[in-house]
Amino acid sequence: MSTDTQPDITSRPTGKVAREKLYNGIFFLCAALSVAVTLSIVVLLARDAVGFFAAVPPSDFFLGTEFVASKGKFGVLPLVSGTLLVTVLSALIAIPIGVAAAVYLSEYASERMRAVLKPGLEILAGIPTVVYGFFALVYVTPFLRVLGLPVATFNVLSASLMVGIMIIPMVSSLSEDAMSSVPDSLRQAGYGLGATKYDVSTSIVIPAALSGIFSSFILALSRAIGETMIVAVAMGLSPQMLDLSDPLSNVLGNGQTMTSKMVQVVGSELAGSDAGYKSLFAIGITLFAITFIMNLISNRIAARYREEYE
C-alpha cells in the first residue's frame, strides 16, 4: 500500500493550534508561579535570617541548648528535639495503622466498602487542626491520666497521638493508590503458586508498591514536622532538651516545637529590629531545610525502588 495516501497527522486547524499554544502558556505560567513563590519565600527567610545571624553567632543558634529570648539565648536544639520527638511518636501511630488500612482497602475491601471507608477515612484530613489540639487537651490528656500515666496538663504524648491520627489519611490514601497500581497479573501469579491473600498482600503487593508507600511516609512526616496548632495547644510552649537518660520524662512532660515557637514569636511584643523577632526567620529557614532534605531523600529512595510495569 502506498504511503502517499496516508493523512498528514501533523496538520491541525489554525484555531486548534492557537488554543494549544494558549493552554501551554497558561500551564507554564502556573508552573513558573509555583516556583517563583517558593523561591521568594526562601529568599525572604534567608534575608532576615542573615540579619539574625549577624547579631547571634550561628554556633550559639545551632548548638545552643536553651531558647530564652529575654536572656539573649537562642539555641534551636530544644525546638528541634521537640519537633523530632513529636514526629517520631506520631509516625509510630500513623505508619502501621495507615499501611494496614491501605492493605485492607486495596486487597480485602469490596468496591462498595471501599467507596464508603476511603472517603470516611479522608474526612480526618479535613478536620481543623485546632480541633485536634483542643480534643487532645480536653479529652486525651485526662484519659491518659485515667490509664495511670502521670502526664502534665500540656504534654508531648497527647499532641503526638493527635498528630499521628491527623496524618493517617495521608499514609493510607497514598499507600492505597500505590498498591492499587500494582498489576493484577502479579497477584494472580501468587495465587497460582498457592499463596494466600495475606501472603500476596505482604510478599508481592507491598514490595511492588514500596516506592509509593515510602513516599507517603515522607510526605506524612513532613506534614507532622510542619504541624502548628495541635502542638501549640496540647504540647505547651516550654522548649525542653531531650533527656536521653530519661526520655519518658520528655514524652509525659511539656515541650515546644519549631512551628509553635514561631507562632509564639509572632504573637509577642518584640520589635521588628529585635534579635528575638528575627529568630523567627532563622527557625523558619532551619525548618525549611529539614523538610527539603527529607523530600530529597524521599525522591532518591522512591527512584531507587520504583517498579515499572507494562
Beta 73-74 vs 67-68: how paired, if at all? Answer: antiparallel
pLDDT of residue 9 exceeding 80: no
pLDDT of residue 157 exceeding 90: yes
64-78, 133-147, 228-242: range with highest mean pLDDT: 133-147
- Grid coordinates representing 113 are 466498602
Ramachandran angles phi, psi of 56, nearest 5°? -120, 125
pLDDT at 262: 87
CB neighbours of residue 100 within 10 Å? 13
Nearest by Cα to 285 from 52, 46, 62, 37: 46
Rg of the chain in Å (alpha carbons): 25
C-beta of residue 164 within 8 angstroms of C-beta of residue 90: yes
Residue identified by cell 493508590 is 177
Give this prediction's pTM.
Answer: 0.83
Nearest by Cα to 60 from 36, 76, 83, 47: 76
User: Would you place residue 140 in the very low, low, confident or very high pLDDT band (cuts 50, 70, 90)?
Assistant: very high
CB neighbours of residue 144 within 10 Å? 18
pLDDT of residue 267 exceeding 80: no
Q: Is 300 exposed, middle or buried (0-12, 13-18, 19+ CB in 10 A)?
A: exposed
Give the contacts of 8 (CB within 8 A, at least 6 positions apart). none
* Nearest-angstrom CA–CA distance, 49 and 42: 10
pLDDT of residue 25 exceeding 60: yes
* Nearest-angstrom CA–CA distance, 59 and 298: 29
* Nearest-angstrom CA–CA distance, 205 and 78: 40
9-18, 25-34, 174-183: range with highest mean pLDDT: 25-34
H helical segments located in the chain: 14-55, 58-63, 77-103, 111-126, 129-135, 141-146, 156-180, 184-192, 197-200, 206-208, 210-225, 229-234, 247-252, 258-266, 275-305
User: In terms of pLDDT, which residue wins out, 67 or 161?
Assistant: 161
Q: What is the overall mean pLDDT for the chain?
A: 85
pLDDT at 186: 86
User: Would you place residue 2 in the very low, low, confident or very high pLDDT band (cuts 50, 70, 90)?
Assistant: very low
Q: What is the pLDDT of residues 113-131, one digit of tens each?
A: 888 888 888 787 788 888 9
CB neighbours of residue 93 within 10 Å? 18
Residue percentage of the chain with pLDDT more than 70: 92
C-beta of residue 246 within 8 angstroms of C-beta of residue 225: no
- Grid coordinates representing 220 are 506524612
pLDDT at 79: 92
Q: Where are the domains of the chain?
A: 61-305
Ramachandran angles phi, psi of 309, nearest 5°? -125, 150
* Residues 255-259, mean pLDDT to the nearest whole number: 90
pLDDT at 306: 66
User: Would you place residue 83 in the very low, low, confident or very high pLDDT band (cuts 50, 70, 90)?
Assistant: very high
Q: What is the pLDDT of residues 280-309, one digit of tens each?
A: 889 989 998 888 888 888 778 777 766 665
Architecture of domain 61-305: Orthogonal Bundle (1.10)
Give the contacts of 161 (CB within 8 A, at least 6 positions apart). 89, 90, 93, 136, 140
User: Would you place residue 11 in the very low, low, confident or very high pLDDT band (cuts 50, 70, 90)?
Assistant: low
* Residues 149-154, mean pLDDT to the nearest whole number: 90
Q: What is the pLDDT of residues 85-106, one digit of tens each?
A: 999 999 999 999 999 999 998 8
